[in-house]
Amino acid sequence: MRRFGQSRRGFLQTLAASGLSVAAARPVSGSIIGASERVRIAVVGVNGRGQSHLEGFSGVDNVEIAAVVDPHADVLARTMASLEKKATGSLTTRGVSDVRRVLEDPTIDAISIATPNHWHSLMTIWGAQAGKHVYVEKPLSHDVAEGRIAVEAQKKYGVVVQHGTQRRSDPGIAGLHEALKSGRLPRLKIAYGYCCKPRGSIGRKAVKQPPASLDWNLWKGPAVIENYHDNYVPYNWHWFWETGNGDLNNQGTHQLDLAQWAIDDDQTHPVRAMAIGGRFQWDDQGQTPNTMFAMAEYANGQTVLFNVRNVSYKGYENQVFNEYYLEDGSVITGEGKYTIRRPGSDTVEALDLEPGDVTPGGNWKSFITAIRAGDPALANGNVVDAHSSCVLGHLMNNSYRLGQDVPFSAEVSSFGGRTDVAEHFARLHAIMRDGVGIAEGQARYHLGPMLTFDSATERHVGDHAEAANALLKAPNNPGFEIPSVTQL
């Protein structure tokens, strides 16, 4: 098995050993592609979100889908048949099961990653080492440490890396964040993200042999998983810690990213984080919480709150947006278009803002624009911003994972002495009690500790540091290891 988690020299030696021409390999930094040249992309992972990647890039002028990659033979065959049907001439796209085959191809300019979360960082790193530009679905990382290596890989090899957080391409959203930081609006106190969309139980699936059409070793890749069951493939991997990050860093990555974007630019990561929640009602195989309330506090006092609420009930209210609580008492709500409730008023009014500065063309076209310019800074949602947003979610999740069961009550935590945060949690608790119908005294929350984080070293310090630091990096399978910085 060829390995790309190694030095640049080792990477080129691997190519030579494979029979490919070393001279044909791309330069260390990503190449600049002129406006008249075709950009050739390989889409990796085509069973779900990858179909949107195919459609999105197919709609950009002078972009060719050079390859599609998936370890499931049935999915790959179905996708190739669909592309064949849509082709106006002979189909030039090739289908392969192993991403390493397209990384070895010097004619491919970029990869677009729509795999399960546990693959995102390693493919990004491998892509950078191979001189490929990378569009990577959210979240950039499955854990904190691998996200840092992805940042360092982009920095070393100079390729464009764009995160699949489409909201970064919205000038209306950018305009709000520019206004919050320029002084045109009062200073931000709390950025609150909601990922409240109904989901259902995944039940329980028996351990069995993987289907013959699935290359299980390639699907697992870096993720250490003991046994196969049908709840991993194709979608429910989201709800297992080895492969996913729960809805907090699934749908919630978008809202976490907006919340982090609102924090002052001189802040990198939170210095304190904690979470509380549970997997209520379903009694299924999933591990991640279907209900969560989390907080993260930055060194400057600004705070991010987050709410996951998946359990459906009569009168369920979908909430997938952000709120911004300002120091003067104003509250802004929305996404792209916003309303504001001024302090002391019950009236909600439209908030008129100038559009913000983004690379035009939406998320797909802006990525191609950045590639053609050879300028990673043009990516809407670059690798540094992606890492900061993902770390925010990872710290919240890690607190939850280190938690203990406590009574189902609104008074189970003081949230580090933050009475304002406790009031927000009480609102979620009331929904779970009165809407979902969970009886106090007959259920349990899972309450995580307050974790302290050194944003410079990206390590935990203080109480619970040893256990929390153990969660910063997941183990990897041989042949799929995340490299260290010195191995890039």
Q: Which of 285, 253, 206, 212 is nearest to 49 (CA)?
A: 253
Q: What is the DSSP letter of 182?
A: H
Q: Which of 447, 448, 449, 450 is nearest to 406 (CA)?
A: 447
User: What is the four-CA torsion angle of 41, 46, 51, 54, rounded to 10 degrees?
Assistant: 10
For the entire predicted model, the pTM comes to: 0.93
Q: What is the 3-state secondary structure (H, E, C) of 294-307?
A: EEEECCCCCEEEEE
Domains of the chain plus CATH, in order, are 8-168 (3.40.50.720), 170-358+383-477 (3.30.360.10)
* Local mean pLDDT, 10-residue blocks, the chain (488 residues): 35 40 37 76 96 96 97 98 91 96 97 98 98 98 98 98 97 97 96 97 98 98 97 97 98 98 97 98 97 98 98 95 97 96 93 96 97 96 98 98 97 95 97 95 95 98 98 98 97
Residue-level pLDDT at 441: 82
The neighbour count for residue 219, using CB atoms within 10 Å, is 25
Residue-level pLDDT at 14: 44
| Measured distance CA(437)–CA(296) in Å, rounded | 28
Residue-level pLDDT at 32: 62
Residue-level pLDDT at 35: 65
Q: Which residues contact 466 (CB under 8 A, 6 or more apart)?
A: none
Q: What is the DSSP letter of 452?
A: E
| Measured distance CA(69)–CA(115) in Å, rounded | 10
Is 244 in contact with 238 (CB distance < 8 Å)?
A: yes
The neighbour count for residue 147, using CB atoms within 10 Å, is 27
Strands 444-447 and 39-44, sheet pairing: unpaired
Q: What is the DSSP letter of 209?
A: P
| Measured distance CA(155)–CA(158) in Å, rounded | 5
Query: Residue 137 region, left (φ>0) first, then alpha (ψ -120 to 50), else beta?
Result: beta
Question: In whole angstroms, how large is the CA radius of gyration of the chain?
Answer: 23
Q: Which amino acid, residue 437?
A: G
